Amino acid sequence: MPKKPIILDFDSTLCAVESLDALANMVLGDDPDSEAKVAEIERLTNLGMSGELPLSESLARRLATLTFNRSHIARLIEALRDQLTPGLVEDRQWILNNTEHLHVVSGGFVDWIVPVLTPLGFRAEHIHANVLCWDADVCVGFDQDHPLSRNGGKPEIVQQLGLGPEKGAIAVGDGISDLELRRTGHVDRFVAYTAHAFRDAVVQESDMEASDWTSLREILDQVWMA
Ligand SMILES: [Mg+2]
């Protein structure tokens, strides 16, 4: 029997931080209004996560607060490589062995997730995330038609990819948008990954909890053996 597909989140799951917040901190580092802007970005993040603001609007307003270019993205990629979940980098052989069953579905951006994850053995075509728009070296926004830029985007992508519950798919993540895959019946099981963010509401509705990469590996190996 083929191994069940695994759908992994990126921010606060494969990576220890929220990558857009990390970009904001970097870009605003030299800005005299940085404190106010960081506070505004955090406010917009929370409004988006709690559902008080549509995700697409939260994302658009956060990006509009930031002016950045490709060199910022290059620095972000370097920084994120040092902030991956502990154990992941050492597990490159396991990732390579299982790469056809591993999919990343993230509300972050392919512009940095692909270069951060592909050297570890993840397949670029298995990484699904938002896409930045560029005018030469300057970021001018994001693809607003991409499903992952709006609420309900993760279930939409999983459905498009045909990775759903009929294949016994398992979602892994820290947030409500990951849990949503289970609530809407798009996956068979949901593992709450709590190494970096512990959200009560998410853990309570999860089928299993993994508090670090080693325990997640054990869960996945068991599911695949069953
Ligand atoms: Mg996350």
Longest dimension (CA), the chain: 58
Q: What is the pLDDT of residues 125-163, one digit of tens each?
A: 999 999 999 999 999 999 999 999 999 999 999 999 999
Question: Cα 164 to chain center, whole Å?
Answer: 18
**Mean predicted confidence (pLDDT) in 36-47:** 86
CA distance 222 to 226: 6
State the distance from the centre of ligand 1 to the C-alpha of 190, rounded, in angstroms. 13
Query: Where are the domains positioned within the chain?
Result: 6-17+84-225
**35 alpha carbon – ligand 1 mean position (Å):** 24
Indicate the average pLDDT of the chain. Answer: 94
pLDDT of residue 103: 98
Distance of alpha carbon 92 from the chain centroid? 19
Q: What is the pLDDT of residues 50-76, one digit of tens each?
A: 778 898 999 999 999 899 999 999 999
CA 169–ligand 1 middle distance (angstroms): 18
CATH superfamily, domain at 6-17+84-225: HAD superfamily/HAD-like (3.40.50.1000)
From first CA to last CA, the distance across the chain in angstroms is: 10
> Which amino acid appears at position 157 of this protein?
I
Residues 6 or more apart in contact with residue 55 via CB below 8 angstroms: 48, 107, 149, 150, 151, 153
**pLDDT exceeds cutoff 90 at 16:** yes
Distance from the alpha carbon of residue 13 to the mean position of ligand 1, in angstroms: 6
pLDDT of residue 38: 85
Determine which of 43-47, 125-129, 164-168, 182-186 has the lowest per-residue pLDDT on average. 43-47
Contact 128, 113 (CB under 8 A): no
Instruction: Please give the model's pTM, rounded to 2 decimal places.
Output: 0.95
What is the 155 CA–ligand 1 centroid distance (Å)? 15
User: What pLDDT score was predicted for residue 35?
Assistant: 87
Task: Report the separation in Å between the CA atom of 132 and the middle of ligand 1, taken as the mean of its atom positions.
Answer: 19
